[in-house]
Amino acid sequence: MNRKILITDELHPLLQEGLEQDGFIVDYRPAISAEEVLEIIHDYEGIVINSKVYAGKDLLDRAVKLKFVCRAGSGLEVIDLDYAKRNNIISFNSPEGNRNAVAEHALGMLLNLLNNISKADRELRNKEWKREENRGNELSGKTIGLIAYGNTAEAFAKILKGFDVKILAYDKYKPNFENESSLHSIFEQADVLSLHLPLTEETKYMIDYAFLSSFKKPIWLVNTSRGKVLRTIDLLQAVNEGKVIGAALDVFENEKLSSLNETEKKGFEALISDNRILLTPHIAGWTYESKKKIAEVLLEKIRAIQKL
């Protein structure tokens, strides 16, 4: 019996090589469209997806042979987890593979933000020599508030330890962990807020104007989690009012720039025109090392479920 796996995005070749060694027939099709996946999914025992394909009811109903769905990365919002479970389809992700990369990127963005590095670079390239205007802030001595404490937040906390900072972490669903704190304490003490939330119905737009207004001190904000946990228009208001000193965003509400509606275009224009906001195009976790690690994690987990 042919055991076929479909890989729909570009991944490190060791995943395909390992699966083929285990006897799978692997269709590696990183250029495939979501619509094309629907046409052929009935033939596969497993599928590896990233963000292009949504494994929802439409796909899962057609996937008559499907036993597992793998997410290359951390975000499980691309899978209808409840529907998959009801259909005895195993779903899993690979946050262990890119957690260090995300943590390092978050640190880089935060240090850049505190010290006006990108802003000063742009000014100097324009032959503007501004020292006092770009006087920075040291990370040492700051209190860092982490919202959610999964793989990436733990990795971020680990590399922050060398900076003589105080770490407070809030996670509604994870009791008794290192750096555990209440949300109230984060509101009272934090100088920096770093978001590590998954995107769920509960967390969608959790970080809104009321949330940002709850901090006792003005804060710097870093979001390397999911764009829709933070309401852009509310962030912009908080920045303009001084509640947020500066923000570093690697993720956005709508990451398909060609499909922005008028409101989204206005918000994006406001983001890119504000020197207090640092932007990168969802590349936290996007390293050569994490590409290999994600493939290694997925291969290990696929092998584990074959033993069940």
Residue with tokens 């899962």: 60
The answer for residues whose C-beta is within 8 angstroms of residue 241's C-beta and 6 or more apart is none
Instruction: Quick: pLDDT tens for 199-255.
Output: 999 999 999 999 999 999 999 999 999 999 999 999 999 999 999 999 999 999 999
110 and 191 share a domain?
Answer: yes
Query: Which of 227, 224, 232, 222 has its CA nearest to residue 264?
Result: 232
Region 34-54: mean pLDDT is 96
103 and 240 share a domain?
Answer: yes
CB 257 within 8 A of CB 268: yes
Residue 301 lies in a domain: no
Single out the residue in 68, 93, 118 at which a domain terminates: 93
Confidence band of 307 (pLDDT split at 50, 70, 90): confident
Q: Give 22's DSSP letter.
A: T
Instruction: Quick: pLDDT tens for 255-295.
Output: 999 999 999 999 999 999 999 999 999 999 999 999 999 99
Whether 1 shows a pLDDT value over 60: the answer reads no
Residue 167 CA to residue 187 CA, distance in Å, equals: 13
Q: Which two tokens stand for residue 250?
A: 């690697």
More confident residue, 91 or 307: 91
104 and 247 share a domain?
Answer: yes
Whether 308 shows a pLDDT value over 80: the answer reads no
Whether 2 shows a pLDDT value over 80: the answer reads no
66 and 150 share a domain?
Answer: no
Confidence band of 198 (pLDDT split at 50, 70, 90): very high
Residue 288 lies in a domain: no
Residue 145 lies in a domain: yes
Q: Give the total number of structural domains in the chain.
A: 2
Backbone phi, psi, residue 126, to 5°: -95, 15
81 and 140 share a domain?
Answer: no
179 and 272 share a domain?
Answer: yes
For residue 187, the SS3 value is: helix
Q: In terms of residue numbers, what domain contains 38?
A: 4-93
Residue 304 lies in a domain: no
The pLDDT, as a whole number, for residue 51 is 87
Region 100-119: mean pLDDT is 98
114 and 174 share a domain?
Answer: yes
Whether 130 shows a pLDDT value over 80: the answer reads yes
Region 27-49: mean pLDDT is 97
154 and 52 share a domain?
Answer: no
The answer for residues whose C-beta is within 8 angstroms of residue 74's C-beta and 6 or more apart is 93, 94, 95, 98, 99, 150, 151, 152, 198, 285
15 and 117 share a domain?
Answer: no
Residue 143 CA to residue 290 CA, distance in Å, equals: 28
Helices and strands (H and E) in the chain: how many: 12, 11
The pLDDT, as a whole number, for residue 67 is 96
Q: Which residues are annotated as catalytic?
A: 226, 255, 282
What is the average pLDDT score of the chain?
Answer: 96
Where residue 45 sits, what CATH number does that domain have?
Answer: 3.40.50.720
DSSP H or E segment with residue 5 = strand 4-7
Q: Give 216's DSSP letter.
A: S
Residue 50 CA to residue 203 CA, distance in Å, equals: 20
185 and 61 share a domain?
Answer: no
170 and 269 share a domain?
Answer: yes
Chain mean position to CA 35: 25
DSSP H or E segment with residue 202 = none
11 and 117 share a domain?
Answer: no
Residue 240 CA to residue 233 CA, distance in Å, equals: 11
Residue 258 lies in a domain: yes
CB 59 within 8 A of CB 36: no
Residue 245 CA to residue 113 CA, distance in Å, equals: 10
Whether 104 shows a pLDDT value over 60: the answer reads yes
For a pLDDT cut of 70, what percent of the chain falls above it? Answer: 99
Residue 153 CA to residue 141 CA, distance in Å, equals: 19
